[in-house]
Structure 1
Amino acid sequence: MLVVDDHTLVREGIISLLSGDPFVRVVGQAETGEEGVAKALELRPDVVLMDISLPKISGLEATARIKAKAPEIKVLVLSMYDNDEYVIQVLKYGASGYVLKKAMAQELINAIKTICEGETYLYPSIATKIVNQVVRSTDKAKVEQDPLTERENEILAYVAKGYTNKEIAELLNLSNRTVQTHRANIMKKLDFHSTVELVKYAIKKGLASVQSGENGYLTQ
């Protein structure tokens, strides 16, 4: 993991917090957006922990540049701002998750593990705000004409509640690859490109409710 923050004490504090977890290995650090982009492209870490307010270029711009040249790198934004519209903008720039700086060490580790599994992570206190914002936006899906199969609706419900592909596979006695295929088919049928859109659609259909779960997802 690469840690990008313009405050030395913050960077060192984060690295110290994560050092005790065997899942996380910090391979580098940077203090500006430009340096963060350069080191990300040089070191190719699995995850970049990106502060949003950086000198020279912002964390948003740095995220966009990294994703443009190395889309396989996951970016987890670390910020003090608890604002739903701001978070949506961050996700549109390509970030895989959003965590507040007040997060406990275990919450940060959970977020890192979640995005490494290909999921999107939202800090619990802002998950409901994000969903409310998305629900108010223009609805791309026509819920009345359900294009999904019974199995796809079942998987969609679990996705909206925050279950990972692996967890869904275990619950439904399916292979992880089968769940991934169903999920890809759902995205294709609905012409969706993000988990946020899936959650919105599931809420419209009554498959999930707007309540924040412990892991930053939704529960019914």
Structure 2
Amino acid sequence: MKHIHKLILADDHTLVREGIKTLIKAMPEVGEIFETGDGLDAVNLARQESPTLVVLDITLPGLNGLEVAQRIKQQNSAIKVLMLSMHAGPEYVARAWKAGADGYLIKDSAFAELATAIKAVMNGEQYLSQDVDAEVVKRFTKEKRGMHQELDILTPRQRQILQLIAEGNATRDIADKLFVSVKTVESHRAQLMDRLGIHDVPGLVRFAIRIGLIENES
């Protein structure tokens, strides 16, 4: 396995992040480790540091891990991305592959499989967690149906604003986070509501939970 000069670890659960970081530190191939609990920060870190590998939770505030992975790959396709997820469903794996991820690891298995997954990804292999049925994922991807298609009707900016709305951010807060005007946010919100056929914030929140943009904390 080639040396990982810089690694970014993005997970919004501090205890999980600390546990994974401890395991990564024990790997002699890993050099400097950067960490964050926010999706937007992860994108900025990747742009600034040009890491060898990003270990990325799917459920992140600000910008979910799938969107982060896609942006990182667009910035620099040489960066390896290993997704961490609570979800073993084929729709999530299919979305991860579509975003350009190199590996997909179930969080429950992360401590046992992490080193194996990292080595596989760094050796140019596509790694899929042992808890996921690869054949089911292949069939799902071939049929091109499910959650990821529902998101495809939205632009990347609309998906980002949908997530921020669902996380409880006010219009002004979203505008400040994205460095755009309030009018721009309102325009995107109106457009995404029209595309989804959902015209109230509670409905948007329910949709975002159903497709995995945010977690249901109830």
Q: What TM-score bracket applies, with the shorter chain setting the length?
A: 0.5 to 0.7
Q: How does 1:90-105 map to 2 (within 5 A)?
A: 90-105=96-111
Alignment equivalent of 2:39, drawn from 30, 33, 49: 33
Which ranges of structure 2 fall in alignment gaps of 5 or more residues?
A: 1-6, 146-218
- The equivalent residue for 1:112 is 118
Alignment equivalent of 2:140, drawn from 133, 144, 147: 133
Distance 1:78 1:104, change over 3 A: closer
Alignment equivalent of 2:52, drawn from 43, 46, 50: 46
- The equivalent residue for 1:173 is none
Moved more, 117-126 or 91-100: 117-126
- Distance, in Å, in 2 between the alignment partners of 1:104 and 1:19 is 15
User: Is contact 2:106-2:131 (8 Å) kept?
Assistant: no
Tell me the SS of whatever aligns to 1:27.
strand
- CA deviation after TM superposition for structure 1 residue 135, in Å: 5.8
Q: Deviations over 1:83-140 (max 9, x none)?
A: 10211111101111100001153411111111111111001121232134346569xx
- Distance, in Å, in 2 between the alignment partners of 1:26 and 1:13 is 16
RMSD between superposed Cα atoms in Å: 1.9
- The equivalent residue for 1:80 is 86
Match of 1:13, as an amino acid?
A: G
Q: How does 1:61-210 map to 2 (within 5 A)?
A: 61-126=67-132, 127-134=134-141
- CA deviation after TM superposition for structure 1 residue 23, in Å: 2.3
Tell me the SS of whatever aligns to 1:67.
helix
Distance 1:3 1:23, change over 3 A: same
User: Is contact 1:27-1:45 (8 Å) kept?
Assistant: no
Which ranges of structure 1 fall in alignment gaps of 5 or more residues?
A: 139-220
Q: Which has the higher helix share?
A: 2
- CA deviation after TM superposition for structure 1 residue 4, in Å: 0.3
Moved more, 16-25 or 74-83: 16-25
Tell me the SS of whatever aligns to 2:104.
strand
TM superposition score normalised by structure 2: 0.59
TM superposition score normalised by structure 1: 0.58
- Distance, in Å, in 2 between the alignment partners of 1:137 and 1:63 is 20
> Structure 1: which 4+ aligned runs deviate by more than 6 Å?
none
Tell me the SS of whatever aligns to 2:82.
strand
**1:6 matched to 2:18:** no
